[in-house]
Amino acid sequence: MMTISEAITTIKRAENDAKKLLEDAKEHAVEIVEGANAESVSIMEKTEKDALELRKQIIFDAESKGKNDANRILREAESEVSKIKSQIIDKIDDATRVVVDNIL
């Protein structure tokens, strides 16, 4: 059978063990929170970097498409101008013949 002194000693040890467990649990909780914060910062930085790269790619693609569209429109316009020029030259030749025929 335990004496009162042994019981008090056992209770004190149990209290000290409980305090130690509580302190360890608090330290572990702090470590978990710090780890989670560090991981969230890392995830945020990676997300920002990925978003920046995606934004650059979208802008590059839009610029490329715009340049291609502009070049296509320019080629079409040049073709139309060439056709109109050709038609004007044909009409000038016709007009010249009419003038020459009417004057002579």
pLDDT at 99: 82
Q: How far apart are CA 99 and CA 93, in angstroms?
A: 10
Q: What's the pLDDT score for residue 1?
A: 67
| pLDDT tens per residue across all 104 residues of the chain | 678 888 899 999 999 999 999 999 999 999 999 999 999 999 999 999 999 999 999 999 999 999 999 999 999 999 999 999 988 988 888 888 888 888 76
* Of 89, 80, 58, residue with least CA distance to 72: 80
Which residue type occupies 89? I
What's the pLDDT at 54?
98
